């Protein structure tokens, strides 16, 4: 059973701008800390990464190899059933072998065949199919987490916090606020924390969904 059907996601479309924004936010958080009582602190304890790292993790992971693995495993299982075992079962009566010995052989072979292609969850084909479901479910979960991340990052990119963080030329000037802009330490820290919390909330939500289903 596939627990998370795969969906399209547009994370790649916000990759460049999203990384820039989130690394700015993470740098501010690293250097200035989290404003008191902000949700971000608890989220960072749960997720145990900064928002940019979490974004990069989801960006770098792709559902495709998992889906390919699941498809290959299903093809292997189907091949065992359709090309290997079932022709043997169909051909057995054609031997024109009758009597107790034939019955005994047939019964024993039928048991062996059932162990390979039967409906029981212990059969080989069932095991391979279950393994394929694990990969396909993981791929589906990942696609949904990536889609949720794409939405929240797209929203963050259009936010006032993004404007604040973008105006701060972090790599060259550090995070001393923006002189003359009216944006000081507190404004920067709040902007970074808000963006970081929005992103990590998505990560925390999808992590919890995976734990519920997979762990």
Partner 1 sequence: MSRPAGADRRIILDTDAVVEYADRLRDAAERLGNAGELIRAVDPGPRVFGADAPGALGELGRHLYDRWAAALSAGESQARRQGAQLAGAADRLGKLVAGHVESDQVSALGIREVGSVDAGGPTTPPDESTA
Which positions touch partner 1 (CB under 8 A)?
46-49, 53-54, 57-58, 61-62, 65-66, 68-69, 72-73, 76, 80, 84-85, 87-88, 91-92, 94-102, 104-105, 108-109, 112, 115-116, 124, 127-128, 130-131, 134-135, 138, 203, 207, 210-211, 214-215
Report how far residue 129's alpha carbon sits from residue 169's, in angstroms, rounded to the nearest whole number: 52
Q: Shortest Cβ distance from residue 9 to partner 1 (Å)?
A: 15
What CA dihedral angle connects 163, 164, 168 and 174, to 10 degrees? -140
Q: What 3-state class would DSSP assign to 56?
A: helix
Q: Shortest Cβ distance from residue 60 to partner 1 (Å)?
A: 8
Give the nearer residue to partner 1 in terms of CB position, either 141 or 190: 141
Bridge partners (DSSP) of residue 214 are: none
Q: Shortest Cβ distance from residue 81 to partner 1 (Å)?
A: 12
Give the nearer residue to partner 1 in terms of CB position, either 13 or 95: 95
The secondary structure element, H or E, covering residue 178 is none
Give the nearer residue to partner 1 in terms of CB position, either 96 or 119: 96
| Other Cβ atoms closer than 10 A to 131 | 15
First and final CA of the chain: distance in angstroms? 16
Q: Shortest Cβ distance from residue 18 to partner 1 (Å)?
A: 16
Report how far residue 26's alpha carbon sits from residue 41's, in angstroms, rounded to the nearest whole number: 13
Report how far residue 132's alpha carbon sits from residue 137's, in angstroms, rounded to the nearest whole number: 8
Give the nearer residue to partner 1 in terms of CB position, either 109 or 178: 109
Task: With beta carbons less than 8 A apart as the criterion, state whether 113 and 88 touch.
Answer: yes
Give the nearer residue to partner 1 in terms of CB position, either 13 or 84: 84
Q: Shortest Cβ distance from residue 73 to partner 1 (Å)?
A: 5
Q: Shortest Cβ distance from residue 180 to partner 1 (Å)?
A: 37
Give the nearer residue to partner 1 in terms of CB position, either 185 or 207: 207
Residue 127: burial class (beta carbons within 10 Å; 0-12, 13-18, 19+): middle
């Amino acid at each position: 059973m596939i627990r998370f059907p795969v969906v399209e996601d547009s994370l790649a479309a916000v990759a460049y701008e999203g990384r820039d924004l989130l690394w700015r936010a993470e740098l501010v958080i690293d250097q200035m800390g989290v404003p008191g009582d902000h949700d971000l602190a608890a989220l960072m304890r749960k997720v145990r990464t900064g928002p940019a790292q979490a974004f990069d993790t989801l960006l770098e992971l792709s559902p495709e190899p998992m889906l390919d693995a699941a498809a290959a495993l299903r093809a292997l299982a189907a091949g065992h059933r359709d090309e290997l075992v079932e022709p043997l079962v169909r051909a057995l009566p054609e031997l024109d072998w009758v009597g107790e010995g034939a019955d005994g052989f047939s019964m024993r072979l039928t048991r062996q065949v059932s162990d390979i292609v039967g409906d029981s969850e212990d059969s080989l084909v069932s095991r391979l199919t279950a393994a394929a479901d694990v990969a396909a479910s993981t791929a589906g979960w990942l696609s949904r987490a990536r889609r949720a991340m794409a939405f929240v990052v797209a929203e963050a990119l259009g936010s006032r916090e993004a404007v604040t963080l973008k105006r701060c030329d972090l790599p060259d000037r550090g995070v001393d606020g923006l002189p003359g802009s009216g944006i000081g330490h507190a404004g920067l820290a709040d902007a970074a924390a808000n963006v970081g919390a929005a992103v990590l909330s998505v990560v925390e939500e999808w992590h919890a969904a995976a734990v519920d289903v997979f762990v």
